[in-house]
Amino acid sequence: MRRSAGFTLIELLVVIAIIAILAAILFPVFARARENARKSTCQSNLKQLGMAAMQYAQDYDEIYPAVYRRMPDLYWWGDMLQPYIKNYQVLVCPSGSWSTPNERPPSLPNPLVCSYALPNIRKNDAGADITPLPGASMAQVSDPAGTIMLCDSSRSEIFTPEATYNFTIAGPNGVTDLGTGSYVRVALRHMDGFNCAFADGHVKWLRQSTPGMWTTLAGD
């Protein structure tokens, strides 16, 4: 008797089991590759924004952009950098973003969709860091290569009025600093870490930061 050329049920189940095992092994690899691509896109965005901020500073007497200004309408730092990047999409990380439905001029996108924050490249006023303050000058930043200028965030700015904050980051949208009660809005979007642009223009991925990376003024 000739045997049928078809698969038996057991053979079919074995094939399905092998495919399931291979899928279980490969899917995390594909997911990591996808996130690496998003991380690279985010780093490219921050590189462009960091260079734009440095160009802005060169045009404004070496003063970094402030978080926002009223002229008389509300302009966020992302608006002030537009003459140098001419693209609001650069403000959006492919792994996440937030919207700010604030008062904005009719000519600008409303709400502003963004993924990054300007932490504290601006002057401190005896720790009072609630209202918009002028940007810090390049001369005031004692360590540009070690000072974070832009980073993945869940808000438009990160409040860091003192250099003594404990910036141990452990959450997708930041954590509450138990020592001061201040909310740290760093977003860990990329493999339990975040991308940031430093004050000298270079970009780096970090798993966590240290207090010195958020110091703005020389001598802080």
Name the nearest CA neighbour of 67 among 83, 88, 85, 81: 81
Distance, in Å, from the CA atom of 146 to the CA atom of 210, rounded to the nearest integer, reads: 10
Distance, in Å, from the CA atom of 205 to the CA atom of 194, rounded to the nearest integer, reads: 6
Residue 146 lies in a domain: yes
Distance, in Å, from the CA atom of 185 to the CA atom of 151, rounded to the nearest integer, reads: 10
For residue range 156-187, what is the model confidence (pLDDT) as tens digits? 777 654 333 334 443 334 444 434 444 557 78
What's the pLDDT at 102? Answer: 64
User: Number of structural domains, the chain?
Assistant: 1
For residue range 99-153, what is the model confidence (pLDDT) as tens digits? 876 677 878 877 788 899 887 565 544 444 444 456 778 888 888 898 888 989 8
Residue 219 lies in a domain: no
What's the pLDDT at 174? Answer: 44
Residue 220 lies in a domain: no
Q: What is the mean pLDDT of residues 196-205?
A: 92
Residue 65 lies in a domain: yes
Domain that holds residue 34: 12-214
Structure tokens at 152: 């993945």
Residue 1 lies in a domain: no
Distance, in Å, from the CA atom of 220 to the CA atom of 216, rounded to the nearest integer, reads: 7
Residue 4 lies in a domain: no
| Amino acid code (one letter) for 85 | I
For residue range 3-47, what is the model confidence (pLDDT) as tens digits? 555 667 777 788 888 888 877 776 666 667 787 889 999 999 999
Distance, in Å, from the CA atom of 82 to the CA atom of 50, rounded to the nearest integer, reads: 12
| CB proximity list for 175: less than 8 A, separation 6 or greater | 168, 169, 184
Q: Is residue 86's pLDDT more than 60?
A: yes
Residue 85 lies in a domain: yes
Give the pTM.
Answer: 0.74
Residue 203 lies in a domain: yes
